[in-house]
Structure 1
Amino acid sequence: MPGGPGSSARTSVRVVVVGDRGTGKSSLISAVASESIPEKVPPVHPPTRLPLDFYPDHVPVTIIDTSSSLENKGKLNEELKKADAVVLTYACNQPMSLSRLSSYWLPELRSLEVKVPIIVAGCKLDLRGEHLATSLEEVMGPIMQQFREIETCVECSATAMIQVPDVFYYAQKAVLHPTGPLFDHDSQGLKQRCVRALKRIFILCDQDMDGVLSDVELNDFQVKCFNAPLQPAEIVGVKRVVQEKQLDGVNELGLTLNGFLFLHALFIEKGRLETTWAVLRKFGYGDDLELRDEFLPVPTKLAPDQSVELASEAVEFLRGIFGLYDIDNDGAVRPTELEDIFSAAPESPWDEAPYRDAGEKTVLGNLTLNGFLSEWALMTLLDPRRTLANLIYIGYGGDPASVFHVTRRKSTDRKKQRTERNVFRCFVFGSKSAGKSALLNSFLGRPFSENYYPTTCERYAANVVDQLGVSTNTRNTMLSDCYTCSHCIGMLQMQGTKKTLILQEIPEDGVKKVLSSKEYMATCDVALFVYDSSVEHSWKRTKELLVEVARQGEISGHGVPCLLIAAKDDLDPCRITVQDSAMVSQEMGIEPPIHVSMKVRDSNNIFSRIVRAAEHPHLNIPETEVGKSRKRYRHLVNSSLMFVSVGAAVTIVGLAAYRAYAARRNASA
């Protein structure tokens, strides 16, 4: 399969040359810059830029010479931080300079965290005597085993013009077509991200979806990536090479996925990384083997009180994907099936926090449809770019620009006294051990636990809430408990408009960080304040948090609907807490506390009530006494201005009438 160099987003490559004094650094740079044997070489060569067409990739190379003296160590370190690649030199006629590579230079580069390709250049090849003659592989093999960051090694001579351009060609190639993302030297195979990217490309090119690339599909792939068709004899040759080395790489229909992967592993082993990179870049991948930004048009320049949601077309696509992988049609996907869904993505996006434990699962640990869709809603809220990339990875073929819907500003929602949002973000505040985690667990249908594990970082729980405010697990339980009651079944089947609710638990230690950002608080649709109704201290701390949020909303103008949650209602209530919480809610103009007990599964329809509060963003916004005073003052000022405006208008009208009367009078006279 012939191929040429792939295009790169890079517009230049910066190569820094380092090594012991006298190893030939400056002579090497002078020779490549003048393309001739250097006659007079400066101690440190000035920065040199090779022309655009010096190498086939047409990307200019800037070469930086360095001094190895101690007084210039700071300057050397600065240059290394800006390097795209490093050429490390030793002198072929000086064995000590070779041993210094592993005893000093390579460990030094590691300590400086220089994480760029390293090209080892053995200079002064023409001066090496026969008594020092040995193969490059024998000399460098052990060093390359110890220091995997070495990309390649080459011997050269500036005075004899032997392989001088090759040194910097390998450096440029290592930057434009890096080995690291593609190949694992330890396992001598393709890295997992590379396999996943090539799998997606294979699936896209398998137009008839029969699991193989036919001769026609293989030729189309070649034309797309390299603008040159494969001749019939070339296709036969490609398949013959694969069949000889990979038994399952070819079948009667064409080239299999394993054969496709084998071909690219072969290209890399033979040093033709530019071929594989040309394919990857043609399909939108960057050096990190993720889709590049230009392929991911996500909404930008949003106001703090706007959010991003998935459009209905994207949601329907996800429903279809879920149904395709829910092989036993039980309404849930197993972990292995979920991994299959993301098998063409760089990795499963939900393997780590905050997504790993944020969706509704069955008792067997399988992700439900509501959990699946809610995870996507959560990822869209937090990282739209990641959502769009993963939609494309799993096969979304629609217009990427139409994947998202940008919500209306909350300030507008409050004026209109309604919202059009389908996804609501709810901050859950409260003192330690108040019951915040139990609330999130209940929302996901998980059993109550007596064990207390303090939450040390922000945690999310996302689920779908219907008009009755119950999640899938709860609904199924009610149906099984009351299967003879047609009224209950009928009520539960009345889905109405479903909303996705995202509960975000704010650890008490993280409250200050949240409240210090007006923009961050503006992303909140509803704020919950959870307290242990049996403990006075818990209520006092929660009241403090409520007042802080109310004050910030009054100052910023981003007032947030707030609800008080009196948790642990199965315990004996604290009389002072009950009285004070009722009084505070009345004084601040919000609903009375909602009493719940997750232990006895008495949720008091809490999740439906949260959604209802979010749907009416002008209600339940708490007011402090200071805020009320400001409002009265503004109302008084506005009323005064209105009176003055009306008086002025009456005066103007009267004056105009008098002038008209006077004009008529003068005309009649």
Structure 2
Amino acid sequence: MALAAAPANLAGKQSLRVVVIGDPGTGKSSLVVSAATERFPGDVPRVLPPTRLPVDYFADRIPITIVDTSSSPEQRTKLIAECQSADVVVLTYACDQPATLERLSSFWFPELRRLQAPVIVVGCKLDLRGEEQGTLDAVMAPIMVAFREIETCIECSALRQILVYEVFYYAQKAVLYPTAPLFDQEAQMLKLRCMRALKRIFILCDHDRDGALSDVELNDFQVICFNAPLQPNEIIGVKRTIQEKLAEGVNENGLTLTGFLFLHTLIIGNGKLETTWTVLRKFGYDNELKLRDDLIPAIKRAPDQTLELTSKVIDFLRGIFNMFDTDNDGALQPAEINDLFSTAPENPWSSHLYENCAENNVLGGLSFEGFISKWTLMTLIHPSNSFANLIYVGYPGDFDSAFTTTRKRRVDRKKKQTQRNVFQCYVFGPRHAGKTSLLQSFLKRQPSDAPPVNGEQFAANTVELPDGTRKTLVMREISEGDVGPLLSDKESLAPCDVAVIVYDSGDEVSWQRARELLVQVATRGKNTGYEVPCLIVAAKDDLDQSPLALQDSTRVSHDMGIETPIPISVRLRDLNNIFCRIVHAAQQPHLSIPETEAGKTHRQYRQLLNRSLTVVSVGAAVAVVGVAAYRVYAARKNASS
């Protein structure tokens, strides 16, 4: 293979910690000393202190510390702690003591399965190994099948200086170029996340979008990743090797995606994991096969600021939508959405937050408006994840071209207007008041179609206003049990543009609880400076009404200076233009802010104080005028005398 490895990328690692464990007498300490001094020690202590290998021991010049351990029962706690802090574990057995080999399966591996660190199995005292014991492959094959945690098996001799260097080379390699994220040892195939990352890289390198890497594109890929061109005969050799084993791996245009993935399967199978890791890291992937954190800019904004998609991104997403709408029905089916995100580590919309948050057509397809609504929601609640997924699906621009940061909500209230295109509405209310039904109606669904609620629930959709403009509204249902934890955070209302309090109009107890929630929201907003416009929704208007609830809710809304309760019936689809009214309240953020009794008292005190200051100011002004008049009179009197 012509794809050669480039210098190591530590992927965040500044040093390596290698912990050596195994049964007593297997040669642990001798192995460590032999590696550090390149000679066999004459007298070795039972347990060595931590040993540093020379910084130039390997070409990568990575500081390596080797930790020797005791396997005595009284040192078990320390042994476990050392293994937990290890980057890689070297597990030893003695080639001349078959019992120590058997102990790998019966004792050591069940213990090590709790750890995340890769494991290198090392047979020490190779010079004492008997021919009757069989080859290393024959001995280790069944163990490696049973314990997939093993990265490498190797036998060495500290006495003869045989393969000692290689033991720690493989230990280093297991950390810098781990097998587990890339390859399924049992199935002998690339793991799904690895295939997704390589597919994205293939698409980025397929400049003419013909589904294959031409000789020129393959050479460009080699230069990008390894800073060295491929010779024509090397390109021919790569394609011939793949075509001999997989006919569909090469076509008349060049190396296909299937062939590209198969090439990396061959590379990994030949033990050249550093080659595939170099490719992945060149394109920004970390050890979890996600984009590195440093490629996603830190987002700096006030708690009451949010991010919105720019028109440039919406145009890009429109193109992506049309590209994956393969049946041209104006909607993306679940399979088409999965295909769209097949270059991301996973489909970000598979979590419960996104599964049912947008409107689908009768066949379950997602319209373009629903598609943008999901991106809008992801940008609102997790902008870093939104930007990462834009990159995964091919967005070529930078962060600043993708998002715009909105003005602070408290500034909007002062200016009595907002420039936002996306509004977030928190929906409060007691149980069975009709919160979920309200969200479902926003997505053109009947309450019977509502999926079981598991945790937070969102509904995102566009709202057409009377003037013909369209705004995106994101409704977040707050369950009654989540109100306390939510409002305990002083910034919890900062992202909220409107709070809607829903109650069952036929249930007086439901209204009493809703009234308490309204006061809680209003008080919390007042105390934290994140005051929120509030609307009261009297749900289930088609059923028998509670006169007391109606009378009291009307009085409370009047006393608090907000709109009277808005009656709706989801069952009859009589929604009283509720969603436009929510957006209208958000667009006038200085209105519909409820005033509590404490707020009224504070306002009255402030008014009284202002009146007092006015009286004092007038009195002071009169005094100043009197002094000035006296001075004029005195000056005239002196002049006449």
**TM-score, with structure 2 as normaliser:** 0.95
Offset at residue 500 of structure 1 (A): 1.1
List aligned pairs for 1:398-409, cutoff 5 A. Answer: 398-409=397-408
Aligned equivalent of 1:60, options 55, 58, 63:
63
The answer on whether the counterparts of 2:430 and 2:480 sit within 8 Å (CA) in structure 1 is: yes
**Partners in 2 of 1:645 and 1:71 — Cα distance?**
83
Could you list the structure 1 runs, at least 4 aligned residues long, displaced by more than 6 angstroms after superposition: 451-454, 649-669
> For residue 116 of structure 2, what is the aligned residue in structure 1?
115
Offset at residue 614 of structure 1 (A): 1.0
1:11 aligns with 2:14: yes
Offset at residue 40 of structure 1 (A): 2.9
1:440 maps to amino acid: L
**Partners in 2 of 1:231 and 1:325 — Cα distance?**
37
Offset at residue 325 of structure 1 (A): 2.2
List aligned pairs for 1:8-157, cutoff 5 A. Answer: 8-9=10-11, 10-110=13-113, 113-131=114-132, 133-157=133-157
Deviates more, 1:74-83 or 1:332-341: 74-83
Aligned equivalent of 2:527, options 555, 562, 566:
555
> For residue 180 of structure 1, what is the aligned residue in structure 2?
180
List aligned pairs for 1:179-258, cutoff 5 A. Answer: 179-258=179-258
> For residue 439 of structure 2, what is the aligned residue in structure 1?
440
**Partners in 1 of 2:640 and 2:42 — Cα distance?**
111
The alignment partner of 1:88 has SS state of strand
> For residue 591 of structure 1, what is the aligned residue in structure 2?
563
The answer on whether the counterparts of 2:352 and 2:454 sit within 8 Å (CA) in structure 1 is: no
Structure 1's 430 and 660: CA in aligned 2 closer, same or farther, altered over 3 A? same
Structure 1's 636 and 79: CA in aligned 2 closer, same or farther, altered over 3 A? farther
**Partners in 1 of 2:631 and 2:265 — Cα distance?**
95
Q: What's the RMSD between the two structures over aligned residues? A: 2.3
**Partners in 1 of 2:252 and 2:492 — Cα distance?**
58
Offset at residue 652 of structure 1 (A): 7.0
The alignment partner of 1:519 has SS state of coil
Offset at residue 610 of structure 1 (A): 0.7
**Partners in 2 of 1:656 and 1:220 — Cα distance?**
88
The answer on whether the counterparts of 1:8 and 1:281 sit within 8 Å (CA) in structure 2 is: no
**Partners in 2 of 1:659 and 1:433 — Cα distance?**
77
1:8 maps to amino acid: L
> For residue 458 of structure 1, what is the aligned residue in structure 2?
456
**TM-score, with structure 1 as normaliser:** 0.91
Q: For residues 582-624 of structure 1, what are the alpha-carbon distances to aligned partners after superposition, in whole Å with 9 as ceiling and x for unaligned?
A: 1111111111111111101111111111111111111111111
**Partners in 2 of 1:647 and 1:25 — Cα distance?**
94
**Partners in 1 of 2:639 and 2:54 — Cα distance?**
90
1:502 aligns with 2:478: no
The alignment partner of 2:473 has SS state of strand
Q: Percent identity?
A: 60
**Partners in 2 of 1:76 and 1:646 — Cα distance?**
83
Deviates more, 1:626-635 or 1:655-664: 655-664
> For residue 480 of structure 1, what is the aligned residue in structure 2?
none
The answer on whether the counterparts of 2:19 and 2:66 sit within 8 Å (CA) in structure 1 is: yes
The answer on whether the counterparts of 1:456 and 1:507 sit within 8 Å (CA) in structure 2 is: no
Offset at residue 70 of structure 1 (A): 2.4
The answer on whether the counterparts of 1:457 and 1:506 sit within 8 Å (CA) in structure 2 is: no
The answer on whether the counterparts of 1:49 and 1:63 sit within 8 Å (CA) in structure 2 is: yes
> For residue 394 of structure 1, what is the aligned residue in structure 2?
393
Offset at residue 163 of structure 1 (A): 1.1
Offset at residue 69 of structure 1 (A): 2.1
The answer on whether the counterparts of 1:299 and 1:406 sit within 8 Å (CA) in structure 2 is: no
Offset at residue 329 of structure 1 (A): 3.6
Structure 1's 636 and 258: CA in aligned 2 closer, same or farther, altered over 3 A? same
Offset at residue 567 of structure 1 (A): 0.6
- Long gaps (5+) in structure 1: 469-493
1:4 maps to amino acid: A
Q: For residues 418-458 of structure 1, what are the alpha-carbon distances to aligned partners after superposition, in whole Å with 9 as ceiling and x for unaligned?
A: 11111111111111111111111111111232x99874511
> For residue 488 of structure 1, what is the aligned residue in structure 2?
none
The alignment partner of 1:161 has SS state of coil
1:545 aligns with 2:517: yes
Offset at residue 331 of structure 1 (A): 2.5
**Partners in 1 of 2:638 and 2:382 — Cα distance?**
76
The alignment partner of 1:39 has SS state of coil
1:275 maps to amino acid: T
Q: For residues 288-336 of structure 1, what are the alpha-carbon distances to aligned partners after superposition, in whole Å with 9 as ceiling and x for unaligned?
A: 1111122222423x22111121122111211221122224443211112
2:561 maps to amino acid: G
Structure 1's 638 and 122: CA in aligned 2 closer, same or farther, altered over 3 A? farther
The answer on whether the counterparts of 1:433 and 1:454 sit within 8 Å (CA) in structure 2 is: no
Offset at residue 654 of structure 1 (A): 7.7
**Partners in 2 of 1:417 and 1:58 — Cα distance?**
61
The answer on whether the counterparts of 2:21 and 2:90 sit within 8 Å (CA) in structure 1 is: yes
The alignment partner of 1:64 has SS state of strand
**Partners in 2 of 1:246 and 1:665 — Cα distance?**
118
1:38 maps to amino acid: P
Offset at residue 503 of structure 1 (A): 0.8
The answer on whether the counterparts of 1:48 and 1:62 sit within 8 Å (CA) in structure 2 is: yes
> For residue 277 of structure 1, what is the aligned residue in structure 2?
277
The alignment partner of 1:275 has SS state of helix
Structure 1's 49 and 466: CA in aligned 2 closer, same or farther, altered over 3 A? farther
The answer on whether the counterparts of 1:298 and 1:401 sit within 8 Å (CA) in structure 2 is: no
- Long gaps (5+) in structure 2: none
**Partners in 2 of 1:114 and 1:334 — Cα distance?**
41
Offset at residue 92 of structure 1 (A): 1.4
**Partners in 2 of 1:164 and 1:510 — Cα distance?**
59
Offset at residue 64 of structure 1 (A): 1.6
> For residue 583 of structure 2, what is the aligned residue in structure 1?
611
List aligned pairs for 1:149-548, cutoff 5 A. Answer: 149-300=149-300, 302-449=301-448, 455-468=453-466, 496-548=468-520
**Partners in 2 of 1:315 and 1:660 — Cα distance?**
74
Q: For residues 459-488 of structure 1, what are the alpha-carbon distances to aligned partners after superposition, in whole Å with 9 as ceiling and x for unaligned?
A: 1111111114xxxxxxxxxxxxxxxxxxxx
**Partners in 2 of 1:27 and 1:655 — Cα distance?**
102
1:531 maps to amino acid: Y
Q: For residues 127-166 of structure 1, what are the alpha-carbon distances to aligned partners after superposition, in whole Å with 9 as ceiling and x for unaligned?
A: 23344x3211222222211111111111112222111121
Deviates more, 1:38-47 or 1:117-126: 38-47
**Partners in 1 of 2:610 and 2:34 — Cα distance?**
80
**Partners in 1 of 2:427 and 2:217 — Cα distance?**
53
Q: For residues 10-33 of structure 1, what are the alpha-carbon distances to aligned partners after superposition, in whole Å with 9 as ceiling and x for unaligned?
A: 211222112222222222111111
1:467 maps to amino acid: L
The answer on whether the counterparts of 2:425 and 2:497 sit within 8 Å (CA) in structure 1 is: yes
> For residue 632 of structure 1, what is the aligned residue in structure 2?
604
Aligned length: 638
Structure 1's 88 and 651: CA in aligned 2 closer, same or farther, altered over 3 A? farther
**Partners in 2 of 1:514 and 1:272 — Cα distance?**
51
**Partners in 2 of 1:648 and 1:273 — Cα distance?**
85
**Partners in 2 of 1:13 and 1:411 — Cα distance?**
50
